[in-house]
């Protein structure tokens, strides 16, 4: 008879006897009656029943890589990072004597707008390891608010400097790094966020002549 294996939790508690343990895609799986009933958490490396993982239909196994406990810890760290970003942008706005009402939830919303499969630059479309918040209008003019910020790369942030981002998008330097389709999508998302049309959004940043030029480049 095949020797039974025991799935043991990190605290030493014996959870279930398994027929076998196999490794697939670099991750251990507990098998019972030819079905996967348990998985290794890729964060803490503990073994847990499937119910200990949040569901994720996009993955073949149907659950997330990290167990629920590790996900909670990850979310705590993430919320702390979002809070720091909101505080920093509010400090900048206050220094400029402008509106400073950015919340952690606002930053999270901005990240969602910039997320495809991962958080990407809203201008270049490239995945970001260290996303930054850039202002649409200069912070000295419009402060730090949900509707005046956008998730961008450090490179774009440096190139934009203190310019209005839509006016910067008209420059040759901008056109060397942007992804036109991403810019179009971003304009639509920002317009939806403000509950205006893309044309109305552009009017807040550009002259009639500049809008025609912008449409010619990005349409």
Q: Kindly report the pTM of this predicted structure.
A: 0.64
Task: Choose among 210, 97, 88, 212: nearest CA to 157.
Answer: 88
Which residues are CB-neighbours of 183 under 8 A, at least 6 positions away? 123, 169, 218
Give the per-residue pLDDT at 4. 38
Report the C-alpha gap between 69 and 65 in whole angstroms: 12
CA-to-CA dists, residue 53 to 46, 65, 152, 184, angstroms = 12, 8, 32, 37
Give the per-residue pLDDT at 3. 36
- Beta strands per DSSP E along 25-145: 27-32, 35-40, 47-49, 53-55, 63-67, 132-135
pLDDT in tens, the chain (219 residues): 233 355 554 444 555 677 888 888 778 888 888 888 888 888 888 888 888 888 877 667 788 888 888 877 777 776 788 888 999 999 999 999 999 999 888 998 898 889 877 899 999 999 998 899 999 999 999 999 999 999 999 999 999 999 999 999 999 999 999 999 999 999 999 999 988 999 999 999 999 999 999 999 998
Report the C-alpha gap between 31 and 25 in whole angstroms: 15
């Amino acid at each position: 008879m095949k020797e039974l294996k025991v799935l043991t939790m990190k605290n030493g508690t014996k959870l279930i006897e398994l027929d076998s343990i196999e490794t697939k895609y670099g991750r251990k799986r507990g098998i019972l009656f030819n079905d996967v009933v348990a998985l290794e958490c890729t964060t803490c490396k503990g073994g847990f029943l499937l119910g200990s993982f949040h569901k994720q239909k996009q993955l073949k196994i149907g659950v997330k890589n990290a167990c629920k406990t590790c996900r909670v810890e990850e979310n705590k760290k993430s919320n702390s990072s979002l809070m720091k970003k909101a505080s920093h942008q509010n400090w900048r706005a206050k220094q400029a004597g402008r509106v400073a009402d950015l919340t952690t939830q606002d930053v999270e919303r901005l990240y969602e707008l910039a997320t495809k499969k991962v958080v990407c630059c809203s201008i270049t479309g490239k995945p970001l390891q260290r996303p930054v918040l850039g202002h649409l209008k200069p912070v000295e003019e419009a402060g730090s608010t949900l509707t005046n910020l956008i998730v961008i790369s450090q490179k774009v942030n440096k190139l934009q400097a203190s310019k209005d981002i839509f006016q910067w998008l008209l420059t040759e330097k901008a056109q060397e790094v942007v992804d036109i389709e991403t810019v179009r999508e971003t304009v639509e998302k920002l317009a939806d966020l403000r509950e205006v049309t893309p044309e109305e959004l552009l009017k807040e940043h550009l002259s009639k002549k500049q809008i025609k030029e912008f449409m010619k480049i990005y349409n």
